[in-house]
Each structure stands twice: as C-alpha cells, then as structure tokens.
Structure 1
Amino acid sequence: MIRTGVIGVGYMGQNHVRIYSEISDLVGIYDVDIDHSRAVARRFGTQVFEKIEDLIQKVDAVSICTPTVDHFDSTLMALKAGKSVLLEKPFTGDSGKASLLANEAEKQDVVLAGGFVERFNPVVSAAKEALEVGRFGKIISISSKRVSSFPSRIRDVGVIMDLAIHDVDVIRYITSSEIIGVFGMGGKFANDRFEDYANLLLELECGVTGHVETNWLTPMKVRKVSMTCSKGYVQLDYIDQVLEISSSEVREIDPGNLFQVPLEFDVRRLSLKKEEPLKRELQDFLAAVRSSGKPKVTASDAIMDLKVCEAAIRSVREKRKIEIAH
C-alpha cells in the first residue's frame, strides 16, 4: 500500500487522516499544535511527527492541509524530496507560486494534485457525463450559489479564494472550457480585511455565460448549481447529491384565452448513490501516484482556477471587467 501522511490536521486535515487510515498505509501526521495532533493520532491510530521533514522522508505521498500561507513552503519541501502531493484549495492562493510548484513536480516526476473536492461530487460527475452525451442539449448558461456563515478556520484569504474557487473549478470542468473574462462585484461587510461577499460574471471561451454568488454572511449553508440548456433546466444540489431536470412543452395556444397558456411540465429528480467526495478525491490521487498518471485535478487546473480568482478579486477592487490570459 502507498505510505501516506497529512500535514495540517485542522478542520479539513482530520478528514484526510480519517480516509487515509481506511485506504492507505497512514504513516503519520504533523501539525504545529502538538497536543491537537496527538488527539487526532490517538483517534485514528497513527503517529505524530514533530518535524515536517521527518514525516516527508517516511511517506510516498502527502496531503497538505495547512493554512494557505504555509502551502507553498511545505509543498516545495515535499516535492524536492521526491514525494507526491495533494495540496488543498486554494492551492497556493497565488498563480505564480503555483506555477513554480508545477515545474518542480514535473522536474521530480511526481504527482501534484489540487484539492478541489467538488469535482468529485457524484452530481457533478453525473451532470458532466449527461452533457457529454447530449442528454441536456447545449449548455447556455451556468450559475452557482455557495453561501454560508463565516468560518472561524479561515484567516488568510477572502471568500473568493475560499469558496468561489470551487465553483470556478466546477464551471471549467463541466463546460470543458476556459474562463477568459470576469466582472466581479462585492466587498467587506462583517470584516475589514477580506471580501466576504461577491458576485462574479464569467465569460467562457465556448460562449457559455457563468455566474457565481458567494458569501460568508448567510445563516444557512447552500451549495447549488443550475444550468440553462437547450433541452431543459438542470439543478445540482451538492449537499443532498440530487440532480433535477426540468423541461416543458407548449401546446396549441388559444389567442382568446392567454390567461391559461397550455404548458406541460416534466420534472425528474434523480437521487444518486451517495458517496463522500473527499474519499473519491483521495482515491483518485492515490491511483495517480500508483500509476504515475494524472489526477483529475492537475496543477495546471489549479493554476487556471487561481488566475480566474485573482482576476475576480482585482475586478471587485477596480470595478471593471478583467480579461484572463492563458
């Protein structure tokens, strides 16, 4: 089995530990909070390392789940040691630094995967497969809503890098097209450091229009995507893992009775087999490590996601559309 480790065992890292303990040879964990790491290690039956470099030397592959400001240095250390890395979103939070890591991974001939977990949600997989075979017809527009209350765990990025980046990645993945322009509106409401609400209008190379609404200001958690397609209207619910397809047909209209337009609606709700997206993501990562192949979310994908989000943040600040170079 592949020997794995986790660097950073906070909110997300603990879940990496849990899953690796089930699907790999989990060697150990590292976190700056030693007491917390010991508690996590006891729960999942693994070892605590007091130095990052000692853990890296013992593994074949590692997940890095530290705060974003520490992502670059920890990942570079692992890559230079010839280890494969899954780097949690928002990757490095900086497309320039992400490119440096991608070059190092290529030089060392190891896997560098981006931790963009929504690609592995069964509803996203089902929607992409249906679009590829023409079941929904041509996609015209795609809109996402990702809102929740402020997460105390986030201290070093705003809501665009924390939440909207997931939807940027899914939109690129579902449409198989790059985002070439973004206009963003948003601002700071409940804090004075980072934006905590934003609406992004996205221009895609394929002609599709994209929209992302995100904030840290709502009391409930919403994770949904809707697509207007030539054969119907499709809604994805990430949390319930449900796909809803709506279509309609207009019968002959009586011009003398426009109050009652004869519309026939067909709504189909598909409840997919529930699977944990993070487990699917880590299985994909380990499969890539095992075969020396490509993960579903490559470093190149992460770089493009970051470029879009960097442009979105700039757009919010400058109040104008930003073109995105490829």
Structure 2
Amino acid sequence: MESSVPPRGAVIGLGMMGRHHARILQSNAAMRFAGAVDPGGDRFGAVADRARVFGTIEEMLAVERPEFAVVAVPTEEHLPAVRELTAAGVNVLVEKPVAATAAEAREIIGLVADAGLVGAVGHVERCNPALRELRRRLPDLGEVYSVATERVGPFPDRIRDVGVVKDLATHDLDLVRWLGGAPIARVAAQTSHRMGRDHEDLVLVTGRLANDRAFNCVVDWLTPRKIRETRVLGEGGMFVADTLNADLWFYANAHVSTGGWAADAARRGVAEGDVTKFALRREEPLAAELEAFCALVGGNDSAPVVTLAEGLETVVVAEAVLESAASGASVDLTGSAA
C-alpha cells in the first residue's frame, strides 16, 4: 500500500553529487530532508540548517532516523555505509557504481534483502529527458541494429578511487543494456593510461548483447570538449540524443533522392531522409531519480528505479571490460552470475 506522506531522506556525503541530492531533498514536495553526513562538513553550503549536518552516520542516527538515505560517498566507501544504514533499518539509494567490486555489490544486495528494505542505484542518465523519450519511441524505429555512446571530456580532479571504466563508462554500459533490450553478452576493450594515474583514463568498448545487437562505447577523461551522445540505429533510421542539453533527433532512412550536382550527391549520399528534433518536457534528471525512489520507499513497487541487481550487472560488465583490456581478448559474459 502506497503512503501519501513524503518520506524523510538523508544524504551521506556532501561532495559533487551529494550536495545536489541535498538541494533537492530540501526543496522537493515529494520528499522531506532529515539531514546530511560528511566528516568534512558542509563545504559547499548545501544544507540550510547547519544543525542537520553530522560528522558520521552514527551521530546522525542518534538524532535522526530517516526512512531512506542517499549514499554519495566515494565508491570504495559504499559497502561500509550501507552496512551501517541497513542495520538501522534505513532504505538506500546508492550512487553508481553500486560498489567497487561485484563481490561488494552482492553483499550490498544481501544486506538490503536481509533487512527487509528496498534499495536502488543512482544511474541518473536513465532519467535524462532525451533518453527517456528515445526509449519511449524505440518501437517507431523497428528492428534495432546497434547502440553507440560517446562520453568524453576533461578529467574531473575529484575522482581518486576508480578509473574511467567504473566511474563514467558504467553510465554507458547500463544505457546499452537498457536501450538495447538485453544483457551484455560479450565485450572487447582497450584502455589507456595517459595522465600518470594508477587508473585508466580512456576506454574503447565494443560488444554484443544477448539479443545479437551490437554496441560500442567511447569514454575518456582526455578530451578538451565535453561530449555526451547516445545513438540508436535501426531499420527505420537513427535516434541521436545529446544528453548534455537533453535534446533528441531522429534521422529517418532515405526516401528522397538527393539529385543535384555530382559533388553534392557525393557529399550527401545517394538519398536523404527527414530529420526531426523533438520538443521535450525537461525535468531535472536527479530530481526525477529521487522522486522515483521516494515512490518505491512509499510502497510503489513499479516505480522506475534502477534495481540493485541491475547495478550489480553493470559492475560485472565493467570488470569484464577491464579484464578484456588487460588480456587483449574478448570476454564472454553469458555464463556470469550477476
């Protein structure tokens, strides 16, 4: 049975993502704000009431018992935070990737299930208006042939604990599965280390889904221009989503001969179809993500969240990408236990 009372939520970690979760929790009518935890304090000024900022989860739980918490600490700290929160009966929305390793992700799933709670993963790109509309319109495309993503830009100095595969490419590996309509069955990858860090800063991934659709992802922290683009190619044409600006285009397959002079025909091809740019209703993706999780906490089992099991699946694929890059061989995931 769904509750009509907005649930109370806390934020664990007030860094780049956590501060935005705190902002929404304090301003969105679908939820109430219980407090925030960060040993470094509220350095971005994200919390209006300073009395609601705590140094540890233990300190917060001594004063506040939220119904849910957003875990927005560094990836390597996800599991300890979830252990403490689930022991206190707090539902968890864990920022992506759900954990540093598949083994830790499985432990998080067990902790949530054993406590009789609900959990989800913050793969916020699924809430991007352009991608939501693209997925809604996929039947218009007919048979899907391939999914391609490009997620490149300068290095964000805040990232210390993981490389580009687990921090950024997990967005794309999740989107490929979500838009492609089947689990990833095989990957082949190349990585580069160009900045002198322990972790990779560029990855190129190609692969195939269990339904035989192809995909490729280009992800790096080296490109001076930030690009976020997702393309889905099919028998009717191609969708192109610019997720930085939440814009969506459809390029229809050619029906009209270009004609014209020889140089123009060579440049355009033998024919071209119509191009449509869709007018979209734009909602902040992070707010949509939090609203969906609040609905889940309130008893709506069909709320459109990314499940912990899906989050685990993405980590398993990310580990296969790193394995492929290290070995130089493609990795078959059809027998993996996500």
Same fold (TM over 0.5): yes
Out of 287, 307, 331, the position equivalent to 1:298 is 307
Rounded to whole Å, the distance in 1 between the matches of 2:71 and 2:136 is: 30
Partner of 2:147: 142
Asked if residue 19 in structure 1 is aligned to residue 24 in structure 2, the reply is yes
Query: Identity rate of aligned residues, in percent?
Result: 28
Asked if residue 55 in structure 1 is aligned to residue 63 in structure 2, the reply is no
1:284-309 CA-partner distances (Å, limit 9, x unpaired): 01000001626520000000000000
Rounded to whole Å, the distance in 2 between the matches of 1:30 and 1:204 is: 40
Q: CA deviation at 1:214?
A: 0.3
Distance 1:92 1:272, change over 3 A: same
Distance 1:27 1:320, change over 3 A: same
Partner of 1:226: 231
Q: CA deviation at 1:192?
A: 3.1
AA aligned opposite 2:307: T
AA aligned opposite 1:69: E
Whether the 8 Å contact between 1:237 and 1:243 is mirrored in structure 2 is yes
SS in 1 for 2:99: coil
SS in 2 for 1:182: strand
Partner of 1:274: 282
SS in 1 for 2:278: strand
Partner of 2:3: none
SS in 2 for 1:22: coil
Rounded to whole Å, the distance in 1 between the matches of 2:297 and 2:325 is: 39
Whether the 8 Å contact between 1:91 and 1:98 is mirrored in structure 2 is yes
Rounded to whole Å, the distance in 1 between the matches of 2:278 and 2:309 is: 32
SS in 1 for 2:226: strand
Rounded to whole Å, the distance in 1 between the matches of 2:202 and 2:257 is: 45
Rounded to whole Å, the distance in 1 between the matches of 2:263 and 2:10 is: 66
Q: CA deviation at 1:262?
A: 5.4
Rounded to whole Å, the distance in 1 between the matches of 2:55 and 2:117 is: 25
Whether the 8 Å contact between 2:154 and 2:226 is mirrored in structure 1 is yes
1:179-202 CA-partner distances (Å, limit 9, x unpaired): 011100111011230000010012
Out of 46, 59, 63, the position equivalent to 1:40 is 46
Rounded to whole Å, the distance in 2 between the matches of 1:287 and 1:222 is: 32
Distance 1:106 1:168, change over 3 A: same
AA aligned opposite 2:291: Q
Asked if residue 176 in structure 1 is aligned to residue 185 in structure 2, the reply is no
Distance 1:248 1:258, change over 3 A: farther
Whether the 8 Å contact between 1:110 and 1:292 is mirrored in structure 2 is no
Give the number of aligned pairs.
Answer: 320
Q: CA deviation at 1:85?
A: 0.4
Partner of 1:74: 81
AA aligned opposite 1:7: I
1:195-274 residue pairs with structure 2 within 5 A? 195-250=200-255, 260=265, 263-274=271-282
Q: CA deviation at 1:123?
A: 1.4
Rounded to whole Å, the distance in 2 between the matches of 1:311 and 1:264 is: 39
Partner of 1:163: 168
Q: CA deviation at 1:315?
A: 0.9
Rounded to whole Å, the distance in 2 between the matches of 1:45 and 1:278 is: 23
Out of 37, 47, 64, the position equivalent to 1:30 is 37
Scaled by the length of structure 1, what TM-score is found? Answer: 0.92
Distance 1:137 1:8, change over 3 A: same
Q: Unaligned 5+ residue runs, structure 1?
A: none
